[in-house]
Homo-oligomer: A and B are copies of this chain.
């Protein structure tokens, strides 16, 4: 049996959890929360980092910071996880779904400008599989139309974008705000977990307030106010120190984990290259401006029938391969609210994309077995 995913433990997680207990503080914003946030701010030159209980919650914080009001429009790909859109719908936004690129499930940047109206407030590029969206194009549009860019970097840890002038920035550091996930299926995990990155520091103080349930508690502990109270909307976005301690053990091993995953990814790629070409199956495409963080290895089959056969064959051998997302513009919740535009590429990935097992402890012989099964179909 080869599962689709298996959470990897570095070995220090429970030790750090026990240490967190010894600090006498298990609620949020303690020693390990600060260690993790500082790590990200230093390593990736992010703006202010705030751990959250999930990437969903980080996106919800971003939607509040963007001051989304009923009727405001938010542009995002239809081929994405439901939380990308729900976070904005909860604030009353109208979602304007864009199609995917032909060569990649990420948002088709060429389609965005025609979707911008006077009501547009935010563009949400989703870095699918950790592959960068065309951030230069998107940031230029944002400047031209005075929009905010909120990167959905759920899958994008440790992946970089190169601008046309040759400068390079890590994903999540380019938009005004960005959201990461540490869900158990991600490269770096804490079971459930996420992080908001505030790159435009004009949002920094309000981000802390929203994070602390709408109170100015952070300012109080910094000695900036003499008592704290209810000053804004907000929620309990911050995770327990138990979660942060677990995450810290993972971060200490980030480079080791990334090296291992990239090795697995390359094994898949080179093992399947010939077969894919012969069978009209598309392997992951990566534009020159993006690095590969080996978050995911996927295939785009030529048809839903081909994908069904592939998944079934793998399942017969005890191997779990999965597909996702149903296009959000055609979902039961949103299809009547969508403006009717066809988004064929999103639907194509919906029908034809399949993800292969990829986790730290996936053995070479398992990869070989998976490749052997696929290539004999």
Report the bound CA distance from A232 to B337 in whole Å: 12
A149 within 8 A of B: no
Contacts of A25 in B (CB 8 A): 7, 184
- State which of B3, B18, B27 has its C-beta within 8 Å of the C-beta of A183: B27
Looking at chain A's contact residues, the main secondary structure is loop
A28 within 8 A of B: yes
Q: Which residues of A (173-226) have their CB < 8 Å from a CB of B?
A: 183-185, 189-193, 213-215
- State which of B3, B82, B243 has its C-beta within 8 Å of the C-beta of A24: B3
Q: Which residue of B lies closest to A90 (CB)?
A: B233
Given A57-B235, A236-B56, A240-B191, residue A82 in contact with residue B332 (CB < 8 A): no
Contacts of A17 in B (CB 8 A): 13-14, 17, 242
Report the bound CA distance from A189 to B234 in whole Å: 23
Report the bound CA distance from A230 to B27 in whole Å: 32
A227 within 8 A of B: yes
Q: Which residues of A (235-279) have their CB < 8 Å from a CB of B?
A: 235-236, 238-243, 246
Contacts of A322 in B (CB 8 A): none
- State which of B53, B231, B328 has its C-beta within 8 Å of the C-beta of A53: B53
Given A234-B86, A238-B192, residue A184 in contact with residue B26 (CB < 8 A): yes
Interface string of A48-59 (1 = CB under 8 A from B): 000001111100
A60 within 8 A of B: yes
- State which of B54, B189, B231 has its C-beta within 8 Å of the C-beta of A26: B189
Interface string of A318-337 (1 = CB under 8 A from B): 00000000101001111000
A107 within 8 A of B: no
Contacts of A27 in B (CB 8 A): 183-185, 191-192
Q: Which residue of B lies closest to A89 (CB)?
A: B233
Report whether B231 and A333 are in contact in the complex, using a CB–CB cutoff of 8 Å. Answer: yes
Interface string of A1-33 (1 = CB under 8 A from B): 001001101000110011001001111100000
Q: How many copies does the complex hold?
A: 2
Report whether A191 and B26 are in contact in the complex, using a CB–CB cutoff of 8 Å. Answer: yes
Given A24-B6, A26-B184, residue A83 in contact with residue B236 (CB < 8 A): yes
- State which of B89, B192, B236, B334 has its C-beta within 8 Å of the C-beta of A240: B192
Report whether B83 and A213 are in contact in the complex, using a CB–CB cutoff of 8 Å. Answer: yes
Report whether B24 and A7 are in contact in the complex, using a CB–CB cutoff of 8 Å. Answer: yes
27 A–B contact pairs at CB < 8 A?
A7-B21, A7-B25, A26-B192, A27-B184, A27-B192, A53-B192, A54-B236, A56-B213, A57-B236, A82-B214, A86-B213, A86-B234, A86-B235, A90-B233, A184-B240, A191-B240, A192-B236, A193-B240, A229-B326, A229-B331, A229-B332, A229-B333, A230-B326, A230-B328, A231-B332, A231-B333, A242-B246
Binding site for B on A (CB under 8 A): 3, 6-7, 9, 13-14, 17-18, 21, 24-28, 53-57, 60, 81-83, 85-87, 89-90, 183-185, 189-193, 213-215, 227, 229-236, 238-243, 246, 326, 328, 331-334
